[in-house]
Amino acid sequence: MAGSKKASGKKATQGPDGSGEETKGEFLPPRPISLRTLGDYLDLSPATISLVLNNAPGVRSIPQETRDRVIAAAKKFDYRPSFFARSLRRRQSFSVGVLVPELSDGYSVLVMNGIEEVLIEEGYFYLTASHRRKADLIEEYPGLLMDRSVEGFIAIDTALQHSLPLPVVAVAAHKPLPGVTRIVLDHGRAAELTLRHLYQLGHRQIAFMRGQTFSSDSDDRWKSLMIVAKELGIEVPPELVVQLQLNLSSPELGYPVVGRLLAAKRPFTALVSYNDIAAIGAIRALRDHGLRVPEDVSVIGFDDIQGAAYHTPSLTTIRQPLNSMGNTAARILLQRLRGLKDYPEEVPVVPELIIRESTLPPNPARMKRR
């Protein structure tokens, strides 16, 4: 028969976009599919589909069976709600900026874990800027993040020099600033837990590490330790105080200062480290100088980072609830973004002493040899 064509075995099926594209079996529409097209396919209004996919407050009025159909169809056709359309409609970007000294630092990682938990739960995205404590980057990055439409900031151990035009929550803030909520550890309590633990074990000759000058907690922690040392009658000679200098987030931070302590020839039976990372480096240095921890020298850290419990010996330390601090920072920021007027200027955090293997009473035999 003239003009006749043999059937190809393919079925032309009109899909939700009306394109009539030929497929074997089931039609898959071209990407991307629109909200209206998805509505035509499901025989539902775009508003209903939007409520379901954005989990909006009115979604509970929609039958569960309908919600299941919408979610299944969105998954089938790989439909994603337009982020930009939602942002324009609500005049929100649903994103915040996080300023952090270094992404690999154990302290910052645990705080960011807590921040992330809350932001994911609340449907927010975050942009992270690592400034390496460089003053020019600390000044520049907030503007770059605001250019990307973040709604607010969480600053972790970041030396902000002035207020920002958006809401800010600071974890380990360097100084009070208008418009900034500070999550602040009780350093007085931390110092008391540290020195009373060593004192009760019998230590009187105690060496100290001071934190780097650029670290937000250095001065407060040191002043608090000296207040408690005076109360307990613990002498703190200059020979038993070393200042951390390196800008590192590895155990190398605490390694070289032990050599300076030992070179001073002033006996000590315990070492108070500025943080856990430095404590781990100090323990290695003490061993390299023929001293055992804790049999010859007890070492106590600060922060309770993830590796503290698994080091050998496991580290006695002051626990900051870092994950919880991140949670709190994120929740307060979101409350402020949602119109909370009477937000706190400061949120106190209570530390906890975690006793593990790196502290013991002084070794009487070693003290006699001295």
Which class in CATH covers the domain with range 187-320+353-369?
Answer: alpha beta
Q: What predicted TM-score, i.e. pTM, was given to this entire model?
A: 0.74
Instruction: Please report which confidence band the pLDDT of residue 81 belongs to, taking 50, 70 and 90 as the band edges.
Output: low
Instruction: Please report which confidence band the pLDDT of residue 104 belongs to, taking 50, 70 and 90 as the band edges.
Output: confident
Q: How is 224-286 classified by DSSP, letter by letter?
A: HHHHHHHHHT----GGGEEE-----SSGGGTHHHHHHHHHTT---SEEE-SSHHHHHHHHHHH
Fold match between 91-185+323-348 and 187-320+353-369? yes
Q: Token pair of 186, please?
A: 């009780």
Model pLDDT, residue 57: 60
Residue 313, SS3 per DSSP: coil
Segment 113-152, tens digit of pLDDT: 999 999 988 888 899 999 999 999 999 999 999 998 899 9
Q: Could you tell me if 118 and 130 are in contact, meaning their C-beta atoms sit under 8 angstroms apart? A: no
Model pLDDT, residue 17: 43
Segment 210-256, tens digit of pLDDT: 999 888 889 999 999 999 999 999 999 999 999 998 888 899 999 99
**Topology, domain 24-81:** 434 Repressor (Amino-terminal Domain) (1.10.260)
**Topology, domain 91-185+323-348:** Rossmann fold (3.40.50)
Average pLDDT estimate for 287-303: 97
Model pLDDT, residue 93: 82
Segment 306-344, tens digit of pLDDT: 899 999 999 999 999 999 999 999 999 999 998 887 888
Model pLDDT, residue 56: 65
Share of the chain above pLDDT 70, in %: 86
Expressed in angstroms, the distance from the first to the final Cα of the chain is 114
**CA-wise closest residue to 222 among 211, 237, 235:** 211
Lowest mean pLDDT of 44-53, 149-158, 189-198, 357-366, name the range: 44-53
Model pLDDT, residue 173: 84
Statement: residue 84 has pLDDT above 70:
no
User: Measuring CA to CA, how many Å separate 96 from each of 47, 126, 324, 326, 365?
Assistant: 27, 5, 18, 14, 57
In terms of average pLDDT, the best of 66-80, 83-97, 112-126, 284-298 is 284-298
Please give the helix or strand (H or E) that residue 180 lies within, else none. Answer: strand 180-185
Segment 191-207, tens digit of pLDDT: 999 999 999 999 999 99
Distance between CA atoms of 221 and 210, rounded to whole angstroms? 9
Domain boundaries, the chain: 24-81, 91-185+323-348, 187-320+353-369
Model pLDDT, residue 3: 39
Q: Could you tell me if 305 and 277 are in contact, meaning their C-beta atoms sit under 8 angstroms apart? A: yes
According to DSSP, residue 205 is labeled S
